[in-house]
Amino acid sequence: MASELRVNTLKDASGNNSIATSVVFGGTAKVWINFNGTGTIATRDSYNVTTITDQGTGLTDITIASDMGNADYAPSGVCGETAGTEVWEITSRAAGVLRIQTYKSDTGAALDATVNSVTIHGDLA
């Protein structure tokens, strides 16, 4: 049997340090992923992601399982190899898909990074 808990405020065990549930929900990451972008790309771990698609050297589409409310969400992340000069940028975004491009910051050359981590904050649809 399913149950439902409805509360407006959460408090710690001593009854102090209260926070509104709207703050908890609003500040929680709605999507996150850690994936290997080299060779056959593969997800290491994720939340609210259905697939990742290799779109070419350094280009990856992250498909969101439960769409964001709009394309104005706030993605952040890191990528890397060994030299520490790899960066990523957003090349396009929609409520259900985020495309990122990884490249070397010193040369601008696209590359498939071994470690990619992306987190998205915003409202779900």
Residue 63 lies inside a defined structural domain of this protein: yes
Binning the chain into helix, strand and coil, the percentages to the nearest 5 are 5, 50, 45
Residue 2's pLDDT band, with cuts at 50, 70 and 90, is confident
Residue 58 lies inside a defined structural domain of this protein: yes
- At residue 85, the pLDDT reads 77
Whether 118 has a pLDDT exceeding 80, the answer reads: yes
Tens-digit pLDDT profile for residues 39-92 = 999 999 999 999 999 999 999 999 999 999 999 999 999 998 766 678 999 999
Helix (H) or strand (E) holding 24: helix 21-27
Whether 25 has a pLDDT exceeding 90, the answer reads: no
Domain count within the chain: 1
Structural domain including 103 reads 29-121
Phi-psi region of 15 (alpha: psi -120 to 50; beta: other; left: phi over 0): left
Instruction: Tell me the whole-structure pTM to 2 decimals.
Output: 0.86
Residue 7 lies inside a defined structural domain of this protein: no
Cβ–Cβ < 8 Å for 30, 121: yes
Residue 82 lies inside a defined structural domain of this protein: yes
Residue 15 lies inside a defined structural domain of this protein: no
Residue 72 lies inside a defined structural domain of this protein: yes
